[in-house]
Amino acid sequence: MDGSVLYLAMPSITSAITPTTDQALWILDIYGFVVASLLIAFGNLGDRYGRLKFLLAGAAVFGAGSVGAALSPTPEVLIGCRALMGLGGATLLPSGLAIISNLFLNPKQRAQAIGIFAATFAAGFAIGPIVGGLLLNHFSWGSVFLINIPVVVLFLAFAPFLLKDVRESSPGRVDALSVLLSAVGILLTVYSVKSAAASGLSPTQLGTGIVGVAIVALFVRRQFGLPQPLLDLRLFRDRVFTVAILTGLLSLVAWAAAGYLSGVYLQSVLGHSVLSAALLAVPGATVLTVTCVGTTAIVDRVGKRAALITSHFAMGIGLSLMLLTGVLGGVTAFVASTVIAGIGYGLSFSLVAETAVAAVPAERAGSAASIAEMSNELGNALGISLLGSLAAVCFRLLGPDLAGTLPETLERPGVSAAAVEDAKNAFVSGMHVAIAVASLLSLGLGYLAVRWVPREKAPAA
């Protein structure tokens, strides 16, 4: 809910607190960067010290960050509060998935439960903008962050009674250096990538990236020498697991970029209200939700390999339909795109989580879930920063050069009708370039899945 509302609320945020182009991207992607940098560490700490404790602490921090975001007077404060929400999110995601895996020990029930778990993300994507649109029609932009508070309060009230705490029976010692290396290395690396995409290459950006990659390499090397590593790299020996994790990464790259850019397109180019734009996203989100829930039945019928391959080609074909949109219209193409791509997203969201958890013993479920969730959150952040920045570069090159983004251009006083037309055409061109890249990435990984993932053996009689 929170992420999908933010996409649609960005034009309102831009009008209210006037973030720069770079700050607007940070508002969108700082949450994903913080979550991605801490998921490995928090997933393992939850395994060892109790996942329920991490869930409760994470919910409290997430709620505090939401309140701060709602009351933020400046872009800098909003970015800081989004980072605090990321700190809470890094504890919620792997521990929540791990607890669910322990509630359902039967593999088929567990796969179905994880499919429902993944479907709640899709349901939030559908419900969030509608709730947010109603709020934005009556209240200021800060109200969209307050939708988190009732959920947090209810969770803190009931979780201690309804959920059991689970941890490793022999947790061993936590390698503090690995925790530090994983968090710092990932954060510096993704920061460097984001800076390069948004502002181009620079000595500072290159230095940050080199240091980040070096720290990540040191972290990986250290894991091979530990009896109980923070990140079990042996899981990647399984080709299906590896392709599933890549699926989690690239599916969120495509989903995040398409969601952000299409939200701006529907509002700023076609002139739809926030609520109208949210309602147009409902068919795709509904298909996504149903597919998540039905993934187990689909896998039973066609197999995990075929489901993985189908997810990529559905995403690639669905995204390509966005290339039929234009300045004068494109609602039909948008809805068709989200419906077809929603099938791919739904399959990928469920398969990534189920594959990660099923590949390890129950006591290491949090660690495996961390890898899956890290791929999702990193993909979410990179989708906005890389493909969002690519669209922004195209806009600056092709547009009237009055402001860095389309909403900023439309807000300028005295802007001519010709400049507005040029700005809208430039934005649509940039969106098409970014969406085309996302589509090609999805189709490319689908081809690799065909080549890499072995055919499954028929079950014994």
Closest CA to 406 of 276, 281, 266: 266
Q: What pLDDT is recorded for position 246?
A: 87
Domain ranges of the chain: 2-174+230-452, 175-229
Domain 2-174+230-452 fold is Growth Hormone; Chain: A; (1.20.1250)
Closest CA to 352 of 97, 176, 146, 148: 97
The residues, any chain, with a CB within 8 Å of residue 190's CB and separated by 6 or more, are: 33, 36, 37, 212, 378, 381, 382, 385
Q: What pLDDT is recorded for position 370?
A: 66
Tokens of 291: 């597919």
Report helix, strand or coil for 225. Answer: coil
Q: pTM score, two decimals?
A: 0.78
Quickly count: other Cβ atoms within 10 Å of residue 418's Cβ: 9
Q: What pLDDT is recorded for position 359?
A: 62
Quickly count: other Cβ atoms within 10 Å of residue 87's Cβ: 20
Tokens of 121: 């993300």
How many CA atoms, within 13 angstroms, populate the side-chain half-sphere of residue 261? Answer: 37
Asked if residues 365 and 353 have their Cβ atoms less than 8 Å apart, the reply is no
The DSSP string of 115-150 is HHHHHHHHHHHHHHHHHHHHHHHHS-GGGGGGGHHH
Distance CA 168, CA 102 (A): 12
Distance CA 250, CA 380 (A): 9
Asked if residues 93 and 55 have their Cβ atoms less than 8 Å apart, the reply is no
Quickly count: other Cβ atoms within 10 Å of residue 179's Cβ: 18
E strands, 193-318, where? Answer: none
Quickly count: other Cβ atoms within 10 Å of residue 254's Cβ: 28
Closest CA to 135 of 8, 220, 228, 286: 8
Supply angle C-alpha 105, 312, 338, rounded to 5: 100
Spell out the per-residue pLDDT of the chain, length 461, in tens. Answer: 877 778 778 888 988 998 887 788 788 878 877 877 787 778 777 777 778 888 899 999 999 999 999 999 999 999 999 999 999 988 887 777 778 877 887 878 887 887 788 788 777 876 777 787 788 878 888 888 988 899 999 999 999 888 877 665 555 677 889 888 987 887 788 778 767 755 667 899 899 999 999 999 999 999 888 887 877 787 777 777 778 788 888 998 898 899 889 988 998 999 998 778 888 988 998 898 889 888 888 988 998 889 989 999 999 999 999 999 999 999 999 999 999 999 999 898 888 877 766 666 666 665 666 677 777 767 776 787 778 878 988 898 898 988 777 888 888 888 899 999 999 999 999 999 999 999 999 999 999 889 888 787 655 54
Distance CA 254, CA 238 (A): 25
The DSSP string of 305-342 is HHHHHHHHHHHHHHHHGGGG--SS--HHHHHHHHHHHH
Question: One-letter amino acid identity for 447?
Answer: Y
Closest CA to 138 of 10, 14, 12: 12
Quickly count: other Cβ atoms within 10 Å of residue 104's Cβ: 14
Asked if residues 389 and 433 have their Cβ atoms less than 8 Å apart, the reply is no
The residues, any chain, with a CB within 8 Å of residue 397's CB and separated by 6 or more, are: 426
Quickly count: other Cβ atoms within 10 Å of residue 152's Cβ: 19
Closest CA to 264 of 388, 145, 386: 388
Cα distances (angstroms) measured from residue 373 to each of 39, 97, 137, 365, 411:
7, 9, 33, 12, 37
Polymer length of the chain: 461
Segments in 50-74 forming alpha helices (H): 51-70
- Residue 419 CA to its chain's centroid (Å): 34
Segments in 383-413 forming alpha helices (H): 388-398, 406-411
Give me the helix-helix angle, 21-49 and 51-70, nearest 10°. Answer: 160
Quickly count: other Cβ atoms within 10 Å of residue 324's Cβ: 14
Distance CA 413, CA 237 (A): 58
Locus of tokens 């869930």:
55
Report helix, strand or coil for 264. Answer: helix
Q: Give, as one character, the DSSP assignment of residue 185.
A: H
Cα distances (angstroms) measured from residue 148 to each of 39, 42, 302:
21, 22, 38
